[in-house]
């Protein structure tokens, strides 16, 4: 960990931490996305051979019922129990989030203004497949979509060298009643979801984490469909003072360093804690501040994905936190509990985007239509200003479309 003082030039450089898009990544992804758009499954299978070193036939892209049934054979009962506990907690949280009623206004003269909320029809979830299965990504993305009412949820994930998908991922997808799982990864999988192929359906929205190629592909297809966000490396900020247990702080920062590219920020008033943490082998920075006011200012500048507050009364500081994807209060709320089982999704804004993005929620899967119904009396009430404003904009036929109803 590198030591940095509050207000120093290095402090401002760290806070900025822009992740610059690499030209070679942009060009490669552009070529892949366009190829899949034009050539569908043919291009998808070609890139699967090239990047995943797996040769599939078109009929093998979709995981079959036999593969799903077979995956249960090697699964330990402890996994099913743990998975069901996580699913229960996450479902309980998001089921409670859908109870808000849409806006509805009525006037005495017959005007009705309201929002009509409808879930998206289809969502594609990207589940990375590296050295270990990211099982938590399945339920942390699928459940909010499901609770919002999305009927068609699909998963894309790269196949392994045996031309299969990790059984833990398939069990999670099966228990959550995912519509289909497809063996496809990288930018080509994102393009397939955005444009559709003979095998993979076109979706309304793509969500889920991935490497720089996946992130760039999501950026490029945005507009053809929606996306959740363009995620960068994961990050953790910890506000702590002498009250904090150094072992807890160190453990959480080391846990963050397990992620590829993960970075941590310790923001502390404690010289003892700063000296302890700066010696641990983790990627990140120790930022020494004079008081908690400076600590909060620094956090709001950084706008971290995860924020842990390890002081005696963390809820007092929470009131001043403006920018953070998820906030963890007190010594027994490690980021890891939010990653797996607490309830809210671990899909969160990174790289400072917590200033304007939120964590994944049911609202990300719901669209609204404005409903407007006027009686003749209600229209007459707004006729004069509406006609006047249309005239100012030079739209005479707009004026006439109102005026004709009173002739």
376: number of CA atoms within 13 Å, CB side? 5
State pLDDT tens for residues 163-178: 999 999 999 999 999 9
Q: Which of 296, 294, 322 is nearest to 309 (CA)?
A: 296
Q: The pTM is what?
A: 0.91
Question: Taking residues 206-218, what's their average pLDDT?
Answer: 94
State pLDDT tens for residues 257-303: 988 888 999 999 999 999 999 999 999 999 999 999 999 999 999 99
DSSP 311-328: SSSHHHHHTT--S-SEEE
Pair type for strands 226-227 and 205-207: parallel
Contact 334, 328 (CB under 8 A): yes
Question: Taking residues 104-120, what's their average pLDDT?
Answer: 93
State pLDDT tens for residues 12-21: 767 766 555 6
State pLDDT tens for residues 223-256: 999 999 988 889 999 999 999 999 999 999 999 9
Question: Taking residues 374-394, what's their average pLDDT?
Answer: 96
Backbone angles phi, psi at 372, to 5 degrees: -125, 120
CATH 3.40.50.1980 domain span(s) along the chain: 2-19+233-342, 23-99+118-227
pLDDT value of residue 109: 94
d(CA 395, CA 15): 48
Q: Which residues are known to be catalytic?
A: 305-306
Query: How many percent of the chain have pLDDT more than 90?
Result: 86
pLDDT value of residue 99: 66
Mean pLDDT of the residues in the chain:
93
Query: How many percent of the chain have pLDDT more than 70?
Result: 98
pLDDT value of residue 21: 62
User: Between the ranges 17-26, 98-107, 263-272, where is the mean pLDDT highest?
Assistant: 263-272
Pick the CATH number of 2-19+233-342 from 3.30.70.1150, 3.20.20.70, 3.40.50.1240, 3.40.50.1980: 3.40.50.1980
DSSP 237-282: EEEE-TTS-HHHHHHHHHHHTTSTT-EEEEEES-HHHHHHHTTSS-
Q: Which fold has domain 23-99+118-227?
A: Rossmann fold (3.40.50)
Q: Which of 183, 178, 206, 208 is nearest to 193 (CA)?
A: 206
Distances (CA, A) of 375 to 372, 388, 400: 10, 20, 18
Q: Does the pLDDT at position 407 exceed 70?
A: yes
């Amino acid at each position: 960990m590198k030591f940095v003082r509050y207000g120093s030039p290095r402090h401002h450089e760290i806070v900025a931490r822009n992740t610059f898009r690499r030209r070679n990544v942009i060009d490669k992804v552009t070529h892949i996305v366009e190829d899949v758009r034009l050539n569908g499954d043919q291009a998808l299978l070609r890139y699967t051979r090239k990047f995943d070193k797996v040769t599939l036939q078109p009929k093998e892209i979709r995981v079959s019922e036999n593969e799903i049934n077979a995956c249960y054979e090697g699964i330990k009962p402890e996994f099913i129990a743990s998975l069901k506990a996580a699913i229960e907690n996450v479902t309980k949280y998001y089921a409670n989030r859908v109870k808000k009623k849409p806006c509805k206004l009525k006037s005495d003269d017959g005007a009705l203004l309201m929002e009509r909320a409808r879930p998206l029809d289809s969502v594609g979830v990207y589940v990375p497949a590296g050295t270990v299965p990211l099982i938590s990504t399945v339920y942390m993305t699928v459940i909010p979509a499901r609770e919002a009412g999305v009927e068609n949820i699909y998963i894309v994930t790269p196949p392994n060298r045996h031309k299969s998908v990790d059984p833990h991922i398939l069990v999670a997808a099966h228990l959550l009643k995912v519509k289909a799982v497809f063996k496809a990864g990288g930018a080509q999988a994102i393009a397939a979801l955005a444009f559709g192929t003979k095998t993979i359906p076109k979706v309304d929205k793509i969500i889920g984490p991935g490497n720089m190629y996946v992130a760039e592909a999501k950026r490029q297809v945005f507009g053809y469909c929606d996306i959740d966000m363009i995620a960068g490396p994961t990050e953790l900020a910890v506000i702590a003072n002498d009250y904090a247990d150094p072992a807890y702080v160190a453990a959480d920062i080391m846990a963050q360093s397990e992620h590829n590219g993960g970075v941590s920020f310790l923001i502390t008033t404690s010289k003892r804690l700063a000296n302890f943490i700066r010696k641990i082998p983790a990627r990140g920075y120790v930022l020494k501040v004079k008081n908690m006011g400076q600590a909060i200012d620094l956090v709001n500048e950084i706008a971290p994905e995860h924020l842990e507050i390890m002081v005696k009364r963390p809820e007092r500081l929470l009131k001043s936190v403006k920018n953070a994807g998820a906030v963890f209060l007190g010594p027994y709320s490690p980021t890891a509990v939010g990653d797996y089982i607490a309830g809210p999704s671990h899909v969160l804004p990174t790289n400072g985007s917590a200033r304007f993005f939120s964590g994944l929620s049911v609202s990300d899967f719901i669209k609204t239509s404005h409903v407007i119904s006027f009686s003749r009396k209600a229209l007459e009430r707004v006729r004069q200003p509406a006609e006047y404003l249309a005239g100012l904009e030079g739209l005479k036929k707009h004026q006439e479309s109102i005026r004709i109803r009173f002739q």
